[in-house]
Amino acid sequence: MKIVDARVIVTCPGRNFVTLKIVTDDGFTGVGDATLNGRELAVASYLSDHVVPLLIGRDAARIEDTWQYLYKGAYWRRGPVTMSAIAAVDTALWDIKGKQAGMPVYQMLGGRSREGVTVYGHANGATVDDVLAEVERYVGMSYRAVRVQCGVPGLATTYGVSTDKLFYEPADGTLPSQTQWSTERYLAHVPGVFARVREEFGPHLRLLHDVHHRLTPIEAARLGKSLEPYALTWMEDPVPAELQEGFRLIRQHTVTPIAVGEVFNSVWDCQQLIAEQLIDYIRTTVVHAGGITHLRRIFDLAALHHVRSGSHGATDLSPVCMAAALQLDVSIPNFGLQEYMRHTDDTDRVFPHAYRYADGYLHPGEEPGLGVDIDEKAAAEFPYAPAYLPVNRLEDGTMHSW
């Protein structure tokens, strides 16, 4: 089963996606997501210039060996570009292996551990009343978990709040747009938002909130404490996580659970966070953390330390990534929650997929492999369009994490 072709497909059905499609000599194809929001062409080049030539002629059955070959063989370790490229190859090879075996990938990962994958959606609004209406909408669609983001009075824009509700897309400019931040205004506003949401929706709806890397540990500790009465499922990315030991300080002060990891690329980015039980949910996902092979390694480490999965699932993770993530979600013992932001109809048309939403759960489907493909003809209708994520500054002009 030799690899005879590998194509890198860049398409923009509403937003940019990079996809690798691998073809074998016995006629199997497999797909992998390689999308890195705002830096898409770097991964496309890494794949077509530096990886595809190494794949031709390789045995498609050797997933682990190919992973090690690309990881160790690069000499330069880790990083989002390299790890997204390796992820795409790994994901495509799992897809091929499943098709060859005639079973969905989750069967090869040990089979089902649950009946469905609990997902959360994004309720957001400029005002608390808008937020309540959006939460109501998700409850109406039977979601069991909702992420809540609200505009902050005095700030023109706030992360996670958009007019385009179901399909929120933060990469909004051909050059980076600029947003403004005030920790003081934010900390003063957020607890009141959750008080209203709990008052309206009661104790059973799972509520989440994304801080998006904007606080220091002691500020995050304050936020976590102030949110304790509202029993959040998690407070996400409270501080930038390059300094893993910084989370000890947050932990000492609050029992609000912590979720981290959507920007991580490897187990080494979260090894201390997991081993010291400084977090509760690890948010790494297939495309940015080295594919199914490496993500399973992260989740296995997490399982030893009472940490559950909470994979990133924003719109910039393609349906190929989602299909792969669901195969893991349904099989691992320590699944927590799966983020689910809906893709546009154009995106769903370019990436026909078997997974389905029903009653608060996503279901991976029973197709052999991942149960997702790329329609290359449809993809060609949507040429790449440069788009950047925003940058963020304090009121005095200082650059801040976005």
Q: How far apart are CA 225 and CA 219, in angstroms?
A: 10
CA distance 115 to 34: 28
Report if residue 233 touches ligand EZ4, rule: CB under 6 A. no
Q: Is 262 in the site for ligand EZ4 (CB under 6 A)?
A: yes
Tokens 């924003």 label which residue?
A: 314
- Please give the Cα distance from 112 to 324 (Å, whole number): 14
Rg (the chain; Cα; Å)? 20
Q: Is 253 a catalytic residue?
A: no
Residue 210 binds ligand EZ4, judged by CB under 6 A: yes
- Cβ-contact 342, 322 below 8 angstroms: no
Contact pick of 58, 144, 212, 214 for ligand EZ4 (by CB under 6 A) = 212
CB of 389 to ligand EZ4, least distance (A): 6
Q: Which of 71, 120, 143, 159 is catalytic?
A: 159
Closest approach of Cβ 167 to ligand EZ4, in Å?
12
CB of 322 to ligand EZ4, least distance (A): 13
CB of 204 to Co ion, least distance (A): 24
Degrees to nearest 5, angle at CA 323 with 322 and 328: 90
Closer to ligand EZ4 by CB, 106 or 194: give it: 194
The token pair at 7 is 């194509």
* Amino acid symbol at 173: G
CB-count exposure of residue 75 (10 Å: 0-12, 13-18, 19+):
exposed
Q: Which is nearer to ligand EZ4, 106 or 335 (CB)?
A: 335
The distance of closest approach from Cβ of residue 384 to Co ion in the complex, given in angstroms and rounded to an integer, is 25
Is residue 180 within a helix (H) or strand (E), and if so which, with residue range?
Answer: strand 178-181
Active-site annotation holder among 212, 288, 294, 312: 212
Q: Which is nearer to ligand EZ4, 99 or 312 (CB)?
A: 312
Binding mask 141-170 for ligand EZ4 (x = CB under 6 A): -----------------------------x
Member of 11, 16, 35, 37 binding ligand EZ4 (CB under 6 A): 37
Closest C-alpha to 79, from 68, 87, 69: 87
Strands (E), 319-375: 338-339, 356-358, 361-363
Query: With binding defined as CB under 6 A, does residue 314 bind ligand EZ4?
Result: yes
Of these partners, Co ion, ligand EZ4, none, which one is at the site of residue 219 (CB under 5 to 8 Å by kind)?
Answer: none
Size of the site for ligand EZ4 (CB under 6 A): 10
Q: Which is nearer to Co ion, 42 or 263 (CB)?
A: 263
Burial of 334 (C-beta count, 10 Å sphere; 0-12/13-18/19+): middle
Classify residue 345 as exposed, middle or buried by CB count within 10 Å of its CB (0-12, 13-18, 19+).
exposed
Judged by beta carbon distances under 5 to 8 A according to partner kind, the member of Co ion, ligand EZ4, none in contact with residue 170 is ligand EZ4
Catalytic residue check, 312 = no
CB of 38 to ligand EZ4, least distance (A): 7
Residue 316's binding partner, choosing from ligand EZ4, Co ion, none, with beta-carbon cut-off 5 to 8 A by kind? ligand EZ4
**Whose Cβ is closer to ligand EZ4: residue 97's or residue 213's?**
213
Does 316 engage in binding with ligand EZ4 (CB under 6 A)? yes
Of 375, 332, 348, 324, nearest in space to 104 by CA = 324
- Contact region with ligand EZ4 (CB under 6 A), list: 7-15, 52-60, 76-84, 309-317: 309-317
Nearest 10 degrees: Cα torsion 249, 251, 252, 253: 100
Residues that bind Co ion (CB under 5 A): 210, 262
Q: How far apart are CA 158 and CA 214, in angstroms?
A: 12
Is residue 42 a contact residue for ligand EZ4 (CB under 6 A)?
Answer: no
Positions marked active-site? 159, 212
Applying CB under 6 A, the residues found at the interface with ligand EZ4 are: 37, 170, 210, 212, 262, 312, 314, 316, 339, 389
